[in-house]
Amino acid sequence: MIETQSASGLSEPQPEAMVSAEGFRVRRWLGVGLLALLGGLLAILWAQWPSQVARSRMQEAERRMTAIGKAVLNYAQVHGTLPQSAQPLVAGGPPQSWRTTILSELGAPMRRVTLELSQPWDSPANLEVARRAAADSNWIWHLPFDSSPADRTSFVLVTGPNTVFDGQRARRIREARRGMLKTAIAIEVRDSDIAWHEPRDVTIDEAVREVRERPAHAEGSHVLLIDGVVKFLKSNTDEDVIRYLFDQQATMPVRRTDMDGNVIEEERPE
């Protein structure tokens, strides 16, 4: 500090020193203010983090299901029909899953997978191929945030009587009784015990339970329509509405909720 001697013999601070002290106080308060601002921003980001994670997971699930829907449509365009849920892929061979059937319609690394199609899905050779394929981070059939093993599938068809995949024969898309906008064929599932190459999926009853009782996300699950469009079904969607989407013989209930869980008025059954 710069000081001068006053007439009384006492030292007095000079203006330069006073300005320096004032500047220090200003800088100190600015620092405190910036720290408070940063703390507030961090608190906001911390509070929003769970919702951001949930949103990104939903977007990833939708992206993958959209790619699967596109592959199913590409297969139908090439072969004239949808793939069957399970069918032999070589003469005299055992049935293989539709997920195996459409591998060639998907990008890498799915296109490079070579299962032994003359052997059952659970033969030692095929189990090893399936395990190694699922270890790839770009593997489409298993969502990375799902807690089931990587060789399990996060996407299944809805099969059985009155569905598009009733096991009787391969169907053409135009055979969907209600048209493409009201016919669902697949759902997203959580913690599945179904291997991605296993010729097994879920029934309508199981699909209802998956959506309503153990949804893939906090508020619901994604479903794939026959035209390749992905929709989000809230877990509070009426059971009859879910059945209507998959059951080609079902009629729309009189009082129901839509795919967003909103109550809507009566629509004349088809």
Model pLDDT for residues 48-85, shown as the tens digit of each residue: 545 788 899 999 999 999 999 999 999 999 999 999 99
Enclosing domain of residue 179: 56-264
Q: pLDDT of 115-125, one tens digit each?
A: 999 999 999 99
Residue 14 lies in a domain: no
45 lies in some domain: no
Domain membership of residue 21 (yes or no) is: no
3 in any annotated domain = no
Any domain includes 26: no
Instruction: Find how far residue 124's CA is from the centre of its chain.
Output: 30
Instruction: Supply the pLDDT for residue 255.
Output: 54
pLDDT band at residue 15 using 50, 70 and 90 as cut-offs: low
Section 192-207 average pLDDT: 97
Overall average pLDDT of the 156-164 stretch: 96
User: Distance between CA 37 and CA 29 in Å, rounded?
Assistant: 12
Please indicate, yes or no, if residue 143 is contained in any of the structural domains: yes
Query: Does a structural domain hold residue 22?
Result: no
Residue, of 9 and 229, whose pLDDT is higher: 229
**Mean pLDDT, rounded, for 250-269:** 56
Q: Is the pLDDT of residue 14 over 70?
A: no
- Between 20 and 235, the more confident residue is 235
Provide the pLDDT for residue 11.
53
Tell me the pLDDT band of 107, cut-offs 50, 70 and 90. Answer: confident
User: Would you say residue 18 lies in a domain?
Assistant: no
Query: What total of structural domains would you count in the chain?
Result: 1
Contacts of 213 (CB under 8 A, 6+ apart): 235
